[in-house]
Chain A
Amino acid sequence: MPLTNRHLLGLQGVPKEDIQLILDTTTTFREVLERPIKKVPTLQGKTVVNLFFENSTRTRISFELAEKRLSADSLNFSASASSVNKGETFKDTIKNIEAMKIDMVVVRHAAAGTPQFLTKICDANIINAGDGIHEHPTQALLDMYSIREKLGKLDGLKVCIVGDVAHSRVALSNIFGLITMGAKVSVCGPSTMIPKYIEQLGVNVIYDIDEAIQENDVLNVLRIQLERKAREYFPSIREYSKYFGITEERLEKNGKDVLIMHPGPINRGVELSSGVADGLQQIILKQVTNGVAVRMAVLYLLGTMN
């Protein structure tokens, strides 16, 4: 059975069966990534455009690799080096790219809702690679896959998202996805960074990091987004790291074998101490590897739909 939607715009409202299918398909591609020749001819002849209006290293490289390993033709567009700077409208740019006969678009944009808008003006399959502070579905899928790989299940697990929840698309996608899959989700951070209505999504709010460590099986630690003026939400970085930073001492004190995840890039010494970021409880680089496999699964499932 194929996915119910021909685009991946977010995880809000995506049925459990679809998430399950993507995660199961990811296992296939994990195996492909272990082969000496990490390439299959599945999307031969398909053209994928990576439309990045916002900076990205990990996600863009990850998508690009996933496309290449499925034998699709991929091309990269970055806003800074394009005609957008000459005053062309977003819609015209898209229409022009579409006129060159493309099949799929991977889009990242600072404005929430850009992927939805794209579905209305072009025929390609649209994959959201992050839209503003709205959603980042493939990141949440790879987080869920990594948890499932490590702990064997999602149903009934307790997962806490730590940090700047209010400005995080990773947090929102994770909340939607994890709740659908039966996990118990909580968030933890300074009250200025916890959105007022977050509890309406079925999420628990914890303000004490020690309590969060004790209560949960997994901590998904978000990056403090200094470029998004995160500094305005707490008195100093030192204070943030003192009250919410995960350190070895803190993990030891709570004596809990909690799994540590981070979507990257890490601010070492802020949200995670260097020791924890390289420690035995984290799976941060595993997440990156799984990211390629998850994106291959999504591209495969959308690209072979008729």
Chain B
Amino acid sequence: MSIEINDVFRSFGHVLAVAGMSATVPAGTVTGLVGPNGAGKSTLLLMLAGLLCPDSGEIRIADLDPVAQPREVHRTVGWMPDAFGTWDSLTCLEILETFADAQGLDRAAGRRRCNEMLSTVHLSEMTHAPARVLSRGQKQRLGLARALLHQPKVLLLDEPAAGMDPRSRADLRVLLKDLASEGVTILISSHILSELEQMIDGAVFMAHGKAVHPPEVPVNSGDGPVSRLTGHVQRQWSMRALDPVALATWATDPQIGGQPAQDGTVVLRADDDTQAASLLRGAIEAGVEVVSFTPAMGLLEETYLMMEVERR
């Protein structure tokens, strides 16, 4: 159920929006799509959602070809655009029911699913309120409920957290993690990098319509993982111990591949949470007295800004 993007081009008139984009999004992961405004992120998501036809190149999404099998893609993929338009005069429930019908859900099951989704995004008390009274954040939540209604295998989210309150953002993080653990592949674009970093397993960087390889983050010198070549960045973790020297000795072992930072911590790379957990177990078993082990904050932002520097 992964996403494969291979040398995709798309232009609008003379404007080249996506120019030679290639990337892989592994199945069952939450992957960030990061890049400056006008990098072609939304256009790429439109092509993945089977709404826009690439000029050239190949896309496989959940083993489907969006150009040849658009309806199957629409059934399998949940797409949430950056601006969720609503039908002002309809109530939240009516909007969701319309989409349940439009996705061909069985009537009774569809209605049950609508109520379920409304409570998932905490809009149950707004069930019969017209959509025009919703705040921006509430609209985003309704949009998320709409995108999840038909239990998609792949979720494409364009700035989903925009306008949401902190509680809703935290809920969104948990929801996406849960979905990913159920095997849903999630590609999410956002400009709030610190927040994005807390929910993603990796990131695809995009600029000028194509994937850009993030410059070497000053941690790992080893042979970069294969996923990085396709624009996929690994999650990094920061570990601190009572004895920085012991920690550094353990971490710099080529099998661990950690990189000591200047403040005595080490930065470690992990493909997923399982690997992170086994890293921690390994450290403790090696006698390192670990004080903290957290996702390295701000790394995504750091990488992004370095990329920006290179761009200029």
The answer to whether A and B assemble together is no
Residues of A within 8 A of B (CB): none
Residues of B within 8 A of A (CB): none
